[in-house]
Amino acid sequence: MATVQKPNTSKGTRSGFSSRLGFIAAAAGSAVGLGNIWRFPAETGANGGAAFLVIYLLCTVLIGFPIMVGEITLGRRAQSDPFGAYSKVGKGGWGIVGLLGVLCGIMILSFYNVVAGWAFGYFLQISFGDLLAQPDFGAYFGQFAAGWYENHIFWYALAFMAITAFVVLKGIKDGIETIAKVLMPALFLLLVGLIIYALTLDGAGDGLAYYLLPDFSKVTPKTFYTAMGQAFFSLSLGMGALITYGSYISKKENIISSAAIVTIADISVAFLAGLLIFPLVFSQGQAPSGGPGLVFVALPGIFQSMGPILGRIVGGGFFLLLCVAALTSTISLLEVPASHLIDERKVPRKFAVIGLSVVIFILGIPSMLSAGGSEFFTQMLVYENGSDKSFLDLINDVFSDTFLPLGGLILSLFLAYRWNLADMAKEIEQGNEGYIGSALNKYLDISIRFICPIILGGITLVTILEKFLSIQIFG
């Protein structure tokens, strides 16, 4: 949902968001997406429930929020894309960090678009097909996702990529912004309504207990790095998306309160999604550790129970709104590599957007084949204990769970030791008088100077050792 206008082609004037609400809407639109409704419940379910929720919330508030303020502030100061921002403010070879962000944007979008394609397919199959008449939604999802070509996922994903490209190409203003401003609150209300309904079902209480009563004995190092990855993914941090958006805002904007609103919106939607999914999962006797299919397996049951007509309307409506939420996120993922090519490499906007979309779509094909379509991509890695990882899982591990927190680590080191926290505070002071010297200023300084580097550094190290080198550190 964006009001980002394309930077003026005549050099020097970088036009911005039309209003304060415009920036918040765009940044919240980037944050709220499949990460909240699809990825968050799946990660929570795979990592033991409530304890994961608590750690995820701590990661978001203690680390995510300061990093978000840092990205927006750096973007507004530098007035350019992540590559330009790092090279301008940092001098020397810092631009390479921005390139890492460009790479992350491309790779994350490649699989994100496939999952958006599933959501689009579910919208069509619920509204106009016979999805709700199926006897077993687990089996249905399995064969749906495996039939990447027979079940048209190829075309759904292609359509989604094309719509994203179209919106970014047109400069993202008018249409989508208005649509999203109406539809995102609608998604929120629909979630609340469905939760109330779900809580009345038999077995819902077990789901609530699983989601809300932490059992910290289940916590392992993996819980921490997965929660941190989820926090970064959900807030759209660590690859410069908010550096890019920050570069479009005016000096009158209050960065702190904008970042706070975006963070709260993002947490709220994720929390509500969990509050819906876990009662459903337990009342339907499914396993919470259902993996990437969790939402697609748990949700249809509630729509089915509404009867054929209402079910089609509410269920179709839900997945359509989910697609809109995904669209405002894919826009921001595409905007980073696109603005890099446009600002730094002087590629005309049209070629940049279309070229990138084609490349990203093709890079997404192995992810499309990761849900049973091809044995090779479905079981890229098979471990001794019999568990396996698909291509999509691997891309997710490397780019979402490792590179995004790594991007946050580098950003915090950059802000504290290469740029300068006093300068950063001066930038924030514009639009937020009285910030300098305030308690929040002191907290953010400490967080960026010490807490973020130590925690993110530790997490990155553990991720690399455990995940990629299979060295078990904590027993």
Residue ranges that bind ligand TRP, judged by CB under 6 A: 30-31, 33-36, 108, 233-234, 236, 239, 241, 329, 332-333, 404
C-alpha–C-alpha distance, residues 423 and 20, integer Å: 23
Q: What are the structure tokens assigned to 300, written together?
A: 């249809």
DSSP per-residue letters across 247-306: TTS-TTS-HHHHHHHHHHHHHHHHHHHHHHHHHHHHHTT--TT-GGGHHHHHHHHHHHTT
- Measured on CA atoms in the order 343, 348, 350, 356, is the torsion positive or negative? negative
Q: Are 180 and 25 in contact (CB under 8 A)?
A: yes
Q: Indicate the residue among 113 and 390 with the shorter CB distance to ligand TRP.
A: 113
C-alpha–C-alpha distance, residues 460 and 452, integer Å: 11
Q: Indicate the residue among 60 and 329 with the shorter CB distance to ligand TRP.
A: 329
Q: Indicate the residue among 80 and 234 with the shorter CB distance to ligand TRP.
A: 234
Q: Are 213 and 71 in contact (CB under 8 A)?
A: no
- Of 255, 257, 180, nearest to 3 by C-alpha is 180
How far, in Å, are 60, 102, 350 from residue 241 at the CA level? Answer: 17, 9, 20
Name the minimum Å distance from CB 204 to ligand TRP. Answer: 26
Name the minimum Å distance from CB 98 to ligand TRP. Answer: 14
Name the minimum Å distance from CB 29 to ligand TRP. Answer: 9
Q: Indicate the residue among 46 and 204 with the shorter CB distance to ligand TRP.
A: 46
Which residue in the shown chain puts its C-beta closest to ligand TRP? 35
The DSSP 8-state label assigned to residue 338 in this structure reads H
Q: Indicate the residue among 320 and 404 with the shorter CB distance to ligand TRP.
A: 404
Name the minimum Å distance from CB 329 to ligand TRP. Answer: 4
Q: Indicate the residue among 31 and 198 with the shorter CB distance to ligand TRP.
A: 31
Name the minimum Å distance from CB 361 to ligand TRP. Answer: 17
C-alpha–C-alpha distance, residues 164 and 160, integer Å: 6
Name the minimum Å distance from CB 328 to ligand TRP. Answer: 8
Name the minimum Å distance from CB 332 to ligand TRP. Answer: 4
Q: Are 332 and 167 in contact (CB under 8 A)?
A: no
Name the minimum Å distance from CB 116 to ligand TRP. Answer: 9
C-alpha–C-alpha distance, residues 187 and 322, integer Å: 8
- Of 62, 52, 107, nearest to 230 by C-alpha is 52
Name the minimum Å distance from CB 348 to ligand TRP. Answer: 24
Name the minimum Å distance from CB 278 to ligand TRP. Answer: 19
Q: Indicate the residue among 204 and 353 with the shorter CB distance to ligand TRP.
A: 353
Residues 6+ apart with CB under 8 A from 47: 218, 222, 223, 226, 227
Name the minimum Å distance from CB 333 to ligand TRP. Answer: 5
Provide the angle, in degrees to the nearest 10, between the axes of the packed helices 308-344 and 174-199.
Answer: 140
Q: Indicate the residue among 39 and 349 with the shorter CB distance to ligand TRP.
A: 39
Q: Indicate the residue among 60 and 87 with the shorter CB distance to ligand TRP.
A: 60
Provide the angle, in degrees to the nearest 10, between the axes of the packed helices 255-283 and 421-429.
Answer: 90
Q: Indicate the residue among 425 and 456 with the shorter CB distance to ligand TRP.
A: 456
Q: Are 47 and 226 in contact (CB under 8 A)?
A: yes
Task: Please identify which residue in the block is written with the tokens 């409530």.
Answer: 50
Q: Indicate the residue among 176 and 208 with the shorter CB distance to ligand TRP.
A: 176
- Of 325, 425, 372, 383, nearest to 116 by C-alpha is 325
Q: What are the structure tokens assigned to 296, written together?
A: 């697609």
